[in-house]
């Protein structure tokens, strides 16, 4: 059994890249630590190296350990480091007791046989929104508890739209949005900025448009997907979006929007604090689907997971730590601090009551979709890489949208599964 598990871990490592935290805070450098053999010490890994021992986050983690009667040894590292070190730790039977991981990484760790099911640990996920828990589920079983979620929407500059004679409330589909961009350009301002970089961030930002056209990640080259890529291509070709979207990260796309020259910026919940500092009035609307309504957006955010332990007696205390971290009271405090939307309705209501500007984000999270959902699992990183490559090819002009997605589908089909 151990040899089979180690083979699965080796296969997961051979994927080369774990999906990066497209919808999460930027991190710095960090280092992992071995699981302690001391029964009174529990190890905790998270993707928040920016938080030191004096931070509210670290105090919460250690405080949950104290309530459980143990010492929690926390280590923060960036998302890619965490995923790779987790796989190596599992191979060495040296996994931490608790890990907080970006939701697309869950399926990779499950495929490696590293994570325990929430049911096996006794964790209750019944209050979690189904679309959010779905990002950390495989074959009907959850493998973690989401600590919060974020997603994408369109920030807009109220002054720019007013000068162009555009009412944001009328922007309900692609045609009305494109017409608004043309009015903005005619008024001497810039249209929309986003990230189309050749990384997971580019896929993350393109997926609302792809899904909003009823595109299918298992069939990248169908007509619906082509429609979505053609939309972006036309915006760039017509000067409604800048050519530098090809190099834009979500951070640099935000910096462009923050100049005050753009009508729209596609970005996430994590920019709310920056929006308040932008120096102009802004609003937020859902990303429109092709034919109207809100497009599904990808779910960002982390899951609290429990790695498989040879000493299953540890799970009782681990459960207490996870229950504490994901309690309604702590979710309200933590998610508000991290600019996350809570994964359960009662806490979301409290967040909106405290900050009404979160209301459109709660709505967006309510229709969000897990990137590894729909049975994609560990195929998602392979598909996503081909998708962002197709976006790059089409927007740069090296291939038509049709040819770019056709090549992407052929490559994905040969590499996935």
Q: How many CB atoms lie within 10 A of CB 345?
A: 12
What's this model's pTM, rounded to 2 decimal places?
0.84
Q: Among 100, 142, 111, 109, which residue's Cα sits nearest to residue 302? A: 100
Mean pLDDT, residues 25-42 taken together = 50
Residue ranges of the alpha helices (H) in 50-117? Answer: 56-67, 79-91, 103-111
CB 135 within 8 A of CB 103: yes
How many Cβ atoms from other residues are within 10 Å of residue 11's Cβ? Answer: 13
Residue 19 pLDDT > 70: no
SS3 state at 398:
coil
CA distances from 329 to 126, 317, 324, 332, 348 (A): 17, 20, 9, 5, 12
pLDDT at 80: 78
Q: Per residue in 367-398, pLDDT tens?
A: 899 898 878 888 998 999 999 999 999 999 99
Calculate what percentage of the chain has a pLDDT beyond 90: 76
pLDDT of residue 29 exceeding 70:
no
Residues in Cβ contact with 257 at an 8 Å cutoff, skipping those fewer than 6 apart: 155, 157, 193, 264, 265, 267, 278
35: left (phi over 0), alpha (psi -120 to 50) or beta: beta
pLDDT score at 175 = 98
Per mean pLDDT, which range of 28-42, 118-132, 237-251, 403-417 is the poorest? 28-42
Q: How far apart are CA 177 and CA 411, in angstroms?
A: 33
CA dist 36 and 94 (Å) reads 9
Query: How far is 226 from 215, CA to CA, in rounded Å?
Result: 8
Cα separation, 180 vs 341, in Å, equals 29
Q: And the tokens for 144? A: 């973690």
Q: 191 and 181 in contact (C-beta within 8 Å)? A: yes
Contact 203, 388 (CB under 8 A): yes
Q: What angle do CA 272, 83, 199 make, to 5 degrees?
A: 55
- What pLDDT score does 378 carry? 84
- Helical (H) or strand (E) element with 332: helix 328-337
At the fourth CATH level, the homologous superfamily of domain 152-297+376-415 is Periplasmic binding protein-like II (3.40.190.10)
Choose among 26, 30, 19: nearest CA to 274.
26
Closest CA to 197 of 2, 389, 59, 1: 389
Bridge-based pairing of strands 41-46 and 71-76 is: parallel
pLDDT bin (cut points 50, 70, 90) of residue 336 is: confident
Coil/strand/helix, residue 304: strand
Is the torsion defined by CA of 50, 52, 55, 60 positive or negative?
Answer: positive
Distance CA 168, CA 287 (A): 12
- pLDDT over threshold 70, residue 230: yes
Give the per-residue pLDDT at 78: 85
pLDDT tens sequence across 338-357: 889 999 999 999 999 999 99
For the stretch 250-263, pLDDT in tens is: 999 999 999 999 99
Q: Which residue's structure tokens are 């800048």?
A: 242
What is the reported pLDDT for 108? 87
Q: How confident is the model at residue 6 (pLDDT cuts 50, 70, 90)?
A: very low
* Class in CATH terms, 2-149+300-366: alpha beta
Q: How many of the other CB atoms lie within 10 Å of CB of 75?
A: 18
pLDDT of residue 209: 98
Tell me if 194 sits within 8 A of 154, measured CB to CB: no
**Tokens representing residue 338 in the block:** 């991290």
Same fold, 2-149+300-366 and 152-297+376-415: yes
Instruction: Calculate the average pLDDT of the chain.
Output: 89
Does residue 211 have a pLDDT over 60?
A: yes
Model confidence band, residue 25 (pLDDT cutoffs 50, 70, 90): very low
Six-digit token pair at 417? 């599964």
Q: Domain residues of the chain, as ranges?
A: 2-149+300-366, 152-297+376-415
Using left for φ > 0, alpha for ψ between -120 and 50, and beta otherwise, residue 374 falls in left
pLDDT tens digits, one per residue of 50-93: 899 999 999 999 999 999 999 999 999 988 789 889 889 888 88
């Amino acid at each position: 059994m151990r040899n089979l598990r180690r083979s699965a871990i080796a296969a997961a490592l051979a994927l080369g890249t774990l999906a990066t935290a497209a919808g999460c805070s930027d991190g710095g450098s960090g280092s992992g630590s071995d699981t302690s053999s001391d029964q009174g010490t529990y190890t905790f890994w998270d993707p928040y190296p920016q938080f030191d021992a004096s931070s509210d986050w670290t105090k919460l983690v250690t405080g949950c350990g104290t309530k459980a009667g143990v010492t929690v040894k926390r280590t923060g590292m960036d998302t890619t480091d965490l995923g790779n070190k987790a796989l190596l730790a599992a191979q060495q039977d040296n996994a931490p007791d608790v890990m907080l991981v970006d939701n697309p990484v869950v399926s990779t760790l499950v495929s490696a046989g590293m994570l325990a099911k929430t049911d096996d640990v006794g964790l209750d996920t019944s209050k979690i929104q189904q679309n959010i828990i779905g990002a950390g589920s495989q074959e009907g079983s959850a493998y973690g508890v989401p600590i919060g979620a974020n997603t994408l929407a369109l920030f807009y500059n109220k002054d720019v739209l007013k000068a162009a004679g555009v009412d944001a409330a009328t922007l309900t589909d692609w045609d009305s949005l494109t017409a608004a961009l043309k009015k903005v350009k005619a008024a001497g301002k810039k249209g929309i900025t986003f990230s189309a970089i050749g990384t997971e961030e580019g896929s993350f930002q393109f997926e609302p448009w792809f899904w909003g056209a009823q595109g299918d990640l298992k069939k990248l080259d169908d007509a619906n997907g082509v429609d979505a890529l053609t939309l972006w291509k036309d915006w760039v070709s017509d000067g409604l979006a800048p050519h530098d979207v090809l190099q834009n990260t979500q951070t640099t796309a935000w910096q462009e929007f923050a100049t005050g020259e753009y009508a729209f910026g596609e970005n996430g919940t994590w920019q709310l604090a920056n929006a308040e500092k932008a120096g102009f009035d802004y609003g937020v609307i859902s990303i429109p689907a092709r034919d109207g309504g809100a497009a599904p957006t990808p779910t960002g955010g982390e899951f609290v997971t429990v790695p498989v332990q040879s000493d299953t007696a540890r799970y009782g205390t681990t459960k207490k730590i996870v229950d504490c971290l994901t309690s309604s009271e702590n979710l309200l405090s933590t998610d508000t601090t991290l600019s996350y939307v809570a994964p359960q309705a009662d806490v979301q209501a409290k967040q909106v009551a405290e900050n009404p500007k979160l209301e459109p984000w709660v709505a967006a999270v309510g229709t969000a979709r897990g990137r590894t959902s729909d049975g994609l699992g560990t195929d998602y990183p392979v598909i996503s890489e081909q998708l962002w490559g197709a976006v790059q090819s089409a927007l740069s002009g090296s291939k038509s949208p049709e040819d770019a997605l056709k090549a992407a589908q052929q490559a994905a089909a040969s590499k996935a599964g």
